[in-house]
Amino acid sequence: MGYVNIARYLIATIESTAVAPSAHAPTQVTPGAPAPTEPAGTLAAATLKVPASVRLQYDVRAEVQGLTADALADLTWSHDDHTYSARLDLTLPLVGTRTQTSVGRITPEGLAPTRFTDKARHELTADFERTPDGVRGKIVFSANTPEAPLLAGAQDRLSAFVQLGAMLAGAPRKYPEGAVIRLQIVGSRDAEPWLFRVDGMQQLRLPYGTLDTVKLTRNPPSPSDSKLEIWLAPSMGYLPVRIRLTQANGDRFDQRLRASEGL
């Protein structure tokens, strides 16, 4: 498989995205109690800290069938304490760009997405249609897939990492090693519950520098699914500085923080 084919494969298949720390002080939000029907650990019944507006740059390496391809990722995160917007562009030379966006509101429970968009060759969307209480409702996909019920605390594949960081930054003692966080994660075609396990402390050497981190892992729920690993830096608000996606066939996509600048 040549470089262009590897790059196209990366554009077509990578589904996980990362966010990274801002040098600015975070916005503090005080959430209400989660609905009693939600599993423990779904929503943080403690203060959340949402990162300030920032532009983030990443080095991305794809390992496909023993060969490698390098890419750049650029994420712009902005909010006004009430609404937010996130955009991630994954660009590969000679191939093009894959863009994911998430827009929504900032609520006492954290981020409440209203639309998720994933565009490579075609644009696909997932719309979060909420009931009047703003908690539940349904998710409507532009792809030919059935609607899904919207659960409290639901996140899309881009907003999820901001929400996870905000939960841990606001209440790090609530998530010791071995703790599990459950979130409904919405993609462009589906909505599924994901479990993130807290694995403990690790030190990483990144293009950005050497950082002490807390690692989270989403193990594949089935042999055909992917493994997702996230490293959060306590010194930077417990937001992800690295994300690694390993597919069932061994192909790997590694996104590592290179630079950060405030907006």
Can you give the residue ranges of every domain in the chain? 3-262
Contact 64, 85 (CB under 8 A): no
Give pairs for 142-151: CB < 8 Å, separation 24+.
142/188, 143/188, 143/189, 145/189, 145/190, 148/186, 148/190, 148/191, 149/191, 150/184, 150/191, 151/38, 151/184, 151/193
What the block records as the tokens of 252 is 């790997």
pTM: 0.81
pLDDT of residue 197: 96
pLDDT of residue 96: 81
pLDDT value at 40 more than 90: no
Contact 114, 104 (CB under 8 A): yes
3-class DSSP string for 54-67: EEEEEEEEEEECCE
What would the pLDDT profile of 116-152 be if each residue is shown by its tens digit?
A: 999 988 899 999 999 887 777 999 999 989 999 999 8
pLDDT of residue 10: 56
What the block records as the tokens of 236 is 């930077």
Average pLDDT over residues 212-239: 86
Distance CA 251, CA 248 (A): 7
Q: State the Cα angle at 162 between 158 and 168, rounded to 5°.
A: 145
pLDDT value at 180 more than 70: yes
CA distances from 195 to 40, 42, 191, 255 (A): 12, 9, 13, 21
The per-residue pLDDT of the chain, averaged, comes to 81
Average pLDDT over residues 9-21: 45
Distance CA 190, CA 212 (A): 34
pLDDT value at 19 more than 70: no
pLDDT of residue 115: 97
**DSSP 8-state class, residue 24:** S
pLDDT value at 78 more than 70: yes
What the block records as the tokens of 263 is 């907006």
Looking only at the bridges linking them, the beta strands covering 83-92 and 252-262 are unpaired
Average pLDDT over residues 216-245: 86
Average pLDDT over residues 20-35: 36
Instruction: Single out the residue of 94, 89, 145, 84 nearest to residue 114, CA to CA.
Output: 84
Average pLDDT over residues 186-192: 93
What would the pLDDT profile of 99-126 be if each residue is shown by its tens digit?
A: 999 999 998 888 999 999 999 888 999 9
**DSSP 8-state class, residue 236:** G
Better-scored residue on pLDDT, 201 or 11: 201
CB neighbour class for 157 (10 Å; exposed up to 12, middle 13-18, buried from 19): buried
Distance CA 247, CA 112 (A): 28
pLDDT of residue 41: 43
pLDDT of residue 102: 97
